[in-house]
Amino acid sequence: MEPVSVKAILQSPHGVLFVKNPRGEWELPGGRPEAGEGLEAALAREVEEECGLTITSACYLDSQSCEIIPGRRVLLVFFRCEYTGHAMRLSEEHTDYRWVDLAGEQPTRLPDFYWQACSAAMNRTLAIPASPMQTLDYPLPTGECDRRRLQLMAAIYDPATTEFLLRHLPSEGRILEIGCGHGQIARWMAERSPKAKVLGLDSSPAQIAVAKASEGSANLDFRVGDITRWAEEHRFDLIVCRFVLLHLQERAAVLQSLLVLLGSTGTLVIEEPSLSSLFCVPRVPAFEQANAAILAYGRLHGLDYDCAAALWEMLAGLKVEIQEARFSQPTVWSEEHKQVVRLSFQAFSSRLVEAGVLEPAQVAQIVASLVRDYESPAVISSGLRTLQIAVTPRSGRS
């Protein structure tokens, strides 16, 4: 496992900021995250320490394994940063600084990997707005091996979800659940509205296989389909989407396509979480580290898993009427339900290690502490705070 170093690309009208290290080479400001520290926090701390500049926003660009000195590779994680404070204050770690114009000559002693990575990263940022709708692959295991975790999620979150849904469930017509997972919400809707036809859609064939294997009523069907590419000529009276949009990069585009799929009087019910809303009493550092690592993984891939507020703002920009909105946050206190945190973290862990967010040893320590400390009867915890929203197209019912 290579060490990780976060690197800031800071621009001024004169170019990109480089600092000179004791080997006499130019490098980007940044450094290694400390134990338990997120990548953005490490970036902000390093830039403040090395240059006296304050990062105000950091956008992940790219990562590359580079041979920093012969025989020593480091995974460099590049962020394009906004900053304040123009008076450079170099630390003792560096002897000089320079704003380098990427359109000009490559300075001597500025390693090729920085030069190429910076140029590629800058080109890539320019290309992002023009790229078509794209999905990151879903980061969690699917199918039978995720059954236990999804069962616990259902036990914790379904009571508030179904209570909210009940007020928006049509007694007949067509109902669609996207990202239906193992299908328990779709199954519940089919039972509650026997005259309606319910379709559960999920991009994972393994999830759909599990959903189909459970008994269901005749008005229930499951199908494999990716909502970012799905075309359907029929319209739906209710579309339900829970814990799915947080995994999608193009949420606004997906929301718009869901509105197209709604009949003029249909309702869209969305429930998505705010990942940073989790807390437990007494505090367990491993619980916070597990959540911080997952949030950092999302940010590395351009996804803010803390998506409830952003969704609310997105909906405000669409032609919809809000029929009902509320926050919901369950209490997770039983030892059994608390296992969902460990199972979710373990399900994510290979991705966290691959992305360099955590070392395997850190994963093992966090898992051990979750079992020993967080799952102990002395701890009470929140579940995720979710935002539940029911909207109708603005031209529909008022």
Ligand X SMILES: C[S@@+](CC[C@H](N)C(=O)[O-])C[C@H]1O[C@@H](n2cnc3c(N)ncnc32)[C@H](O)[C@@H]1O
What residue ranges bind ligand X (CB under 6 A)? 135, 138, 142, 150, 153-154, 178-181, 201-204, 207, 226-228, 242-244, 247-248
User: Measured from the CB of residue 180, what is the shortest distance to ligand X in angstroms?
Assistant: 6
Which CB atom, from 101 or from 163, has the smaller least distance to ligand X? 163
User: Measured from the CB of residue 230, what is the shortest distance to ligand X in angstroms?
Assistant: 7
User: Measured from the CB of residue 305, what is the shortest distance to ligand X in angstroms?
Assistant: 11
Distance of alpha carbon 73 from its chain centroid, rounded?
28
In sequence order, what are the residues at sequence separation of 6 or more whose Cβ sits closer than 8 angstroms to the Cβ of residue 299?
Answer: 39, 40, 60
- Compute the distance between CA of residue 349 and CA of residue 294 in angstroms, rounded to an integer: 9
User: Measured from the CB of residue 154, what is the shortest distance to ligand X in angstroms?
Assistant: 6
User: Measured from the CB of residue 369, what is the shortest distance to ligand X in angstroms?
Assistant: 24
Which CB atom, from 201 or from 357, has the smaller least distance to ligand X? 201
DSSP states of 66-106 = EEEETTEEEEEEEEEEEEE--S----TT-SEEEEE-TTSPP
User: Measured from the CB of residue 126, what is the shortest distance to ligand X in angstroms?
Assistant: 26
Which CB atom, from 227 or from 296, has the smaller least distance to ligand X? 227
236 touches 176 (CB < 8 A): yes
User: Measured from the CB of residue 295, what is the shortest distance to ligand X in angstroms?
Assistant: 15
- Tokens (6 digits) for 379: 């701890």
- Compute the distance between CA of residue 279 and CA of residue 377 in angstroms, rounded to an integer: 16
Which CB atom, from 221 or from 226, has the smaller least distance to ligand X? 226
User: Measured from the CB of residue 387, what is the shortest distance to ligand X in angstroms?
Assistant: 14
Which CB atom, from 50 or from 272, has the smaller least distance to ligand X? 272
- Compute the distance between CA of residue 200 and CA of residue 238 in angstroms, rounded to an integer: 12
Which CB atom, from 81 or from 241, has the smaller least distance to ligand X? 241
Element (H, E) at 237: strand 236-242
353 touches 359 (CB < 8 A): yes
Helices (H), the chain: 39-51, 112-127, 147-166, 184-192, 205-213, 251-261, 285-300, 308-316, 335-354, 360-369
Distances (CA, A) of 288 to 180, 324, 328: 28, 31, 20
- Compute the distance between CA of residue 166 and CA of residue 188 in angstroms, rounded to an integer: 10
- Tokens (6 digits) for 221: 């069907």
Distances (CA, A) of 43 to 6, 8, 169, 276: 6, 7, 47, 20
User: Measured from the CB of residue 111, what is the shortest distance to ligand X in angstroms?
Assistant: 39
Which CB atom, from 51 or from 227, has the smaller least distance to ligand X? 227
Which CB atom, from 208 or from 293, has the smaller least distance to ligand X? 208
Which CB atom, from 180 or from 315, has the smaller least distance to ligand X? 180
- Tokens (6 digits) for 11: 């621009």
User: Measured from the CB of residue 153, what is the shortest distance to ligand X in angstroms?
Assistant: 6
- Tokens (6 digits) for 260: 């197209």
Which CB atom, from 197 or from 251, has the smaller least distance to ligand X? 251
In sequence order, what are the residues at sequence separation of 6 or more whose Cβ sits closer than 8 angstroms to the Cβ of residue 229?
Answer: none
